[in-house]
Amino acid sequence: MRPRAVALVAARELREAMRGRWFVAAAACFFVLSLGLALLGLAGAERSGLAGFDRTTASVANLALVFVPLVTLTLGGLGIAGELEDGSLALLLAQPLTRLEAYGGKYLGLLAAVTAAVCAGFGGTGVVVGWAAGGGRAAAYLALVGLTVLLAAATLGIGTLLSVLLRSRARVVGAAFTVWLALVYVSDLGTIGLAVARRLAPAQVFALAALNPVQQARVAATLVLSDRVDVLGPVGAWGEDTFGMTGLVAVLVGLLLAAAAGALVAGWMAFRKVPVT
Partner 1 sequence: MIVARDLRLALDGHVILAGVSFDVARGEAVALVGPNGSGKTSVIRCLLGLVPFTGYAAIGGRDVVREPVAARVQVGYVPQRAAFGDARAAEPLAFVARLRGVDARRAVGLLDAVGLAAHAGERVRTFSGGMQQRLALAVALVGEPPVLLLDEPSASLDADGQRTFFDIVGRLRGRGQTLVLASHRAEEVESLTDRVVRLDRGRVAAPPAAKPVARIVPHAARRGGGRP
DSSP state of 230: G
Q: Identify residues 72-91 at the interface with partner 1 (CB under 8 A).
A: 83, 86-88, 90-91
Stretch that binds partner 1, among 9-17, 139-147, 202-210, 212-220 (CB under 8 A): 9-17
Q: Is 93 in the site for partner 1 (CB under 8 A)?
A: yes
Confirm if 226 and 143 have CB atoms less than 8 A apart.
no
Residue 219 neighbours by CB under 8 Å, 6+ apart:
209, 232, 236, 239, 252
12: contact with partner 1 by CB under 8 A: yes
Q: Could you say whether residue 196 binds partner 1 (CB under 8 A)?
A: no
DSSP assignment, residue 229? G
Interface characters, 97-126, with partner 1 (x: CB under 8 A): xxx---------------------------
By the rule CB under 8 A, 19 interacts with partner 1: yes
- Report how far residue 217's alpha carbon sits from residue 144's, in angstroms, rounded to the nearest whole number: 9
Stretch that binds partner 1, among 15-23, 143-151, 192-200, 211-219 (CB under 8 A): 15-23
For 48-80, letters b (16+ CB in 10 Å) and e give: eebbbbbbbbbbbbebbbebbbbbbbbbbbbbb
CA contacts within 13 A on the Cβ side of 52: 9
Q: Does 43 bind partner 1 (CB under 8 A)?
A: no
Q: Are 78 and 13 in contact (CB under 8 A)?
A: no
**Member of 8, 66, 112, 194 binding partner 1 (CB under 8 A):** 8
CB of 258 to partner 1, least distance (A): 29
- CB nearer to partner 1: give 44 or 275: 275
| Contact footprint for partner 1 (CB under 8 A) | 5, 8, 12, 15-16, 19-20, 83, 86-88, 90-91, 93-99, 273, 275-277
